[in-house]
Every structure is written in structure tokens, then in C-alpha cells.
A and B are shown apart, each in its own frame.
Chain A
Amino acid sequence: MKLNLFEDKNITDEHVDVYYSDMRPVIRQIIDSVNSERPTLSGRPADEDLDDGEEIILDPKEIYYLDHIDRKLFAYTENGVYRLMSTLASVEEQLSPYGFVRISKSNLVNIYKIKQLKPDINMKVYASFDNGERICINRSYKKSFTEYLQKMRRMSQ
């Protein structure tokens, strides 16, 4: 897909024109992104080579959690796993106001997708998601996790 960007410092009415042949999911996602103020992330399906496959625009609210493995960043959604071409720190900075919080050195979770938080018999605390997956909350991040939840609760009141 060809992308044209025009920078004009004097423009007062910023706008986006989309030319398409048929309304594919990616076009729908672009429209949704423009209509919403929420930041978007782009990624490719993790099971495909980086050069292959169409880049998908991911809506953060669809992401369960992000995992950083072997210097690669993956986003886990209901529809699959996507590889993102950015760093965990930059995504954390970008998505922090939207319910994403760091729970370990390599994981960022979406608190709106957490179904339950429960300690295990081995005293590790796990966050369970709607899709049945669960992820451990590292005890080093426990304090910052609680502070984030308190901040989000205050903001949402």
C-alpha cells in the first residue's frame, strides 16, 4: 500500500484521505485509528517472516499483554500473536495512560483484559486473562503495579 505524507506547518484543518478499492480489514483499521484518539501499534503475524505478510494495525484495547523475548517484542491478542518493531520501553511510555503496566522485566499487561489476579501455591501472583492464559507478576514490580492501579482508579473516578 502506498503511503503519501504531506507536512504543511500552516495547515489548520488536518485531514486524511483514504483511497481504496475494497473495504478490507486493514482499511477499516485505518479508519478506526483516525476516528479514535487512542494510539495504535503496527505489527506482523509472529508466525510469518518479517518481509512477508501484511502489516496489521493493532488497537491497544485488543492486546492482552506484550512479551519481550530474545530482543523481539510480541503482542498477544485474541486473534493471534503479532511481532512489533519497537521497544518495550517505548510501547510502555506510549500505552501507559491506556491501562498498560509493566509487571516484569519483559512483560507489559493490559489491566482491562485481566480477568483475575490470584496467588499460586508457590506464592507467585498470576494475572489470568479471558483467553485462559496467565502471566506471573514479578515481586520486584509489585509496588509499582499497585501504585499504577491506584493512579488509574483515581483517574477513572
Chain B
Amino acid sequence: MKDFIKSYLLELCCSYTIVSVAGAFINMAMGTETNNANVVLMFIFCNIAVFVLSIHKFFEKLSPLAMIIIQYVVALVLCTGAILIATLFWGPVTPRGWFEFFRSFTIPYIIGAALYYYRLYREAKDQDEMIKEIQKQKTNSKS
């Protein structure tokens, strides 16, 4: 449990730093400004993302694709819940706002899943090449 908390906090710090610094650069480039509500929501979303990704061990028996879909649904539900709670304090979200949330959540997730699949494919290819090489060297040493 101690290791889990340690790893969780480390990943949370890294992800929040990346997101907030990237947000600051985008604001500077676009000439926009953020507010305290956005900063708090960003921190909550980072918490949700790190938590959802850290529970991958519980989906060990499932295929990675099923795991990615389940994690997407869980993260989407938690983020939607967080926004609904936020509306109690900072006012309602417009339909356009909900659409933007869904889009800005789904697109990076799909890109991440595609990168994961590419990495998996590359690793499997490298492993396959290594196996072929080992088999070839064994055959050569016999002859």
C-alpha cells in the first residue's frame, strides 16, 4: 500500500506539472487566461487519470483492448461526476461545454490507445526477431 501511494503521488505530481505547464504555454500563445476553477478541475482530472491508470492490475485477465475500454468508461464517468459536482459551485455547463469536454477527453485517449498498440506491435516484432535470431544461431552452431 505504501508503494502504491508513493507511486501514485509521484505520477500525480508529474502529470499535473506537465498538464499545468502545457496549459500555461497554450494560454501564453493564445493570449488567454485561466481561472482558479480550471486549475482545481485540472488537478481533479489528473487525480482521476492517475487513479484509473493505476488500477490496470485488476484487469490482468482481460485483454488490453477490454482494459482500455473499461478504463475509458470509468474515467469518463468519474470526470463527468467531477464536472457535475463543480457545477454546484461554479454554475451550469452549456451543451457546447459538455461536447468540448467529451471531445477533449476522447481524442487524446484514442491517440494514447493507438500509441500503446503501436508500441505493443513494435515490441512483439522485436521479440519475434530475437527469437528467430536465437533459433538461427542454434541451428548454425549445430551444423
Q: A112-B135, A156-B134 in contact; A122/B64 too (CB < 8 A)?
A: yes
List B103-143 residues whose CB lies under 8 Å from chain A: 116-117, 120-121, 123-124, 126-128, 130-131, 133-135, 137-138, 141
Contacts of A138 in B (CB 8 A): 60
A112 touches B138 (CB 8 A): yes
Known interface pairs A123-B64, A123-B117; A117-B131 also in contact (CB < 8 Å): yes
Also in contact, A114 and B123, with CB within 8 A (given A121-B65, A122-B63, A156-B141): no
Chain A 118-157 interface mask (CB, 8 Å, partner B; 1/0) = 1111111100000000000011101001100110110011
State whether A125 touches B130 (Cβ < 8 A).
no
A111 and B131 contacting across the interface, CB-CB below 8 Å: yes
Note all chain B residues with C-beta closer than 8 A to A145: 127
Flag whether B66 is at the interface (Cβ < 8 A). yes
Point out the residues of chain B lying under 8 angstroms from A120, CB to CB: 63
How many B residues face the partner with a CB closer than 8 A?
23
- Let me know if A87 is at the binding interface, CB within 8 A: no
Main secondary structure of the interface of B (DSSP, over half): helix
With both beta carbons as reference points, the residue of chain A lying nearest to B68 in the complex is identified as A123
- Of all chain A residues, the one with the shortest Cβ separation from B117 is A123
How many chain A residues sit at the interface, stated as a range, is 20 to 34
- State whether B60 touches A122 (Cβ < 8 A): no
A residues in contact with B64, CB < 8 Å: 122-124, 139
Contacts of A139 in B (CB 8 A): 60, 64
B141 to chain A, nearest CB (A): 7
- Which residue in A114, A122, A125, A150 is a CB contact (below 8 Å) of B65? A122
Contact of A125 among B68, B116, B120, B135 (CB under 8 A): B120
Q: Given A149-B134, A156-B137, 11 more contacts at CB 8 Å?
A: A112-B135, A116-B128, A118-B128, A120-B63, A123-B63, A146-B127, A153-B130, A153-B134, A156-B134, A156-B141, A157-B137
- Chain A: residues with CB nearer than 8 A to chain B? 99, 111-112, 114, 116-125, 138-140, 142, 145-146, 149-150, 152-153, 156-157
Mark B residues whose CB is within 8 Å of A: 60, 63-66, 68, 116-117, 120-121, 123-124, 126-128, 130-131, 133-135, 137-138, 141
A-B pairs with beta carbons under 8 Å apart, 26 shown: A99-B134, A111-B131, A112-B134, A114-B131, A117-B127, A117-B131, A118-B124, A118-B128, A119-B124, A122-B66, A123-B63, A123-B65, A123-B68, A123-B120, A138-B60, A139-B60, A139-B64, A140-B60, A146-B126, A149-B127, A149-B131, A149-B134, A152-B134, A153-B133, A153-B137, A156-B137
